[in-house]
Copies of this chain bind each other. A is one copy, B any other.
Amino acid sequence: MLPNFLKQRAYLTPNRIALISQGTSLTFAGLYEKAKETARKLSSCGLQAEDTAAVLLNSRAETVIILHALQQLRVRTLFLNHRLTPAEMQYQLTDSGAKWLITEKSFREKAEVLNETATVIQSEALDDLPAAGYEERAEFAFEDVCSIMYTSGTTGKPKGVLQTYGNHWWSAAGSALNLGVREDDTWLCAVPLFHISGFSILMRSVFYGMTVYLMEKFDEKETAKLLKSGRITTMSVVTNMLQRLLRELGQERLHPNFRCLLLGGGPAPRPLLEACAEKNIPVFQSYGMTETASQTVTLAPEDSLRKIGSAGKPLFPAQIRIVSDGKVCGPFEHGEIAVKGPNVTIGYLNRPDANQKSFRDGWFFTGDIGYLDDEGFLYVLDRRSDLIISGGENIYPAEIEEVLLAHPDILEAGVIGVEDEKWGQVPAAFIVTKRAVQERELQAFCETRLAKFKIPKKVYAVPALPRNASNKLVRRKLLELLPS
Which A positions have Cβ atoms within 8 angstroms of B? 1-3, 8-9, 11-12, 14, 173, 176-177, 180-183, 207-209, 313-314, 316-319, 342, 375-376
State which of B3, B14, B208 has its C-beta within 8 Å of the C-beta of A319.
B3
Question: Contact at B177–A316, with CB atoms within 8 Å?
Answer: no
Residues from chain B with Cβ under 8 Å of A314 in the complex: 12
Q: Are the CB atoms of A316 and B181 closer together than 8 Å?
A: no
Closest residue on chain B to residue A184 by CB atoms: B180
Contact A12 B316 (CB under 8 A): yes
The answer for the CA separation of A319 and B12 in the assembled complex, in Å, is 11
Q: Which 10 A-B pairs have the closest CB atoms?
A: A180-B181, A180-B182, A181-B181, A12-B313, A2-B317, A3-B319, A173-B173, A11-B376, A180-B183, A177-B208
Give the number of times this chain occurs in the complex, counting copies. 2
A-B contacts besides A12-B313, A12-B314, A176-B177, 17 pairs, CB < 8 Å = A1-B342, A2-B342, A3-B316, A3-B317, A3-B318, A9-B316, A11-B376, A12-B316, A176-B176, A176-B181, A177-B181, A177-B207, A180-B181, A180-B183, A181-B181, A182-B182, A207-B316
A176 to B12 alpha-carbon distance, docked (Å): 14
Shortest CB distance A299–B (Å): 11
Give chain B residues whose Cβ lies under 8 Å from the Cβ of A12: 313-314, 316
Smallest beta-carbon distance A342→chain B, Å: 8
A160 to chain B, nearest CB (A): 25
Chain B CB within 10 A, most for which of A9, A11, A180, A375: A180
In whole angstroms, how far apart are the Cα atoms of A283 and B182 in the complex? 17
Interchain Cβ contacts under 8 Å between A and B, 24 examples: A2-B317, A3-B316, A3-B317, A3-B318, A3-B319, A11-B313, A12-B313, A12-B314, A12-B316, A14-B375, A173-B173, A173-B176, A176-B176, A176-B181, A177-B181, A177-B207, A177-B208, A177-B209, A180-B180, A180-B182, A180-B183, A181-B181, A182-B182, A207-B316
Least distance between A179 CB and chain B CB atoms (Å): 9
Complex CA distance for A38 and B182, rounded to whole angstroms: 37
Do residues A316 and B183 form an inter-chain contact, with CB atoms below 8 A?
A: no
Instruction: Give, as a whole number of angstroms, the nearest-CB distance from A80 to chain B.
Output: 31
A209 contacts which chain B residues (CB < 8 A)?
177
Alpha-carbon separation in the docked complex, A1 to B341 (Å): 8
A148 to chain B, nearest CB (A): 25
Kindly identify which residue among B9, B14, B316, B342 contacts A8, using a CB–CB cutoff of 8 Å.
B316
Could you tell me the distance between the alpha carbons of A375 and B10 in the complex, rounded to whole angstroms? 11
CB contacts (< 8 Å) of A207 on chain B: these are 177, 316
**Complex formed: what's the CA distance from A83 to B313 in Å?**
44
Residue of B nearest to A185 (CB): B180
Task: Give the shortest distance, in Å, between A259 (CB) and chain B (any CB).
Answer: 9
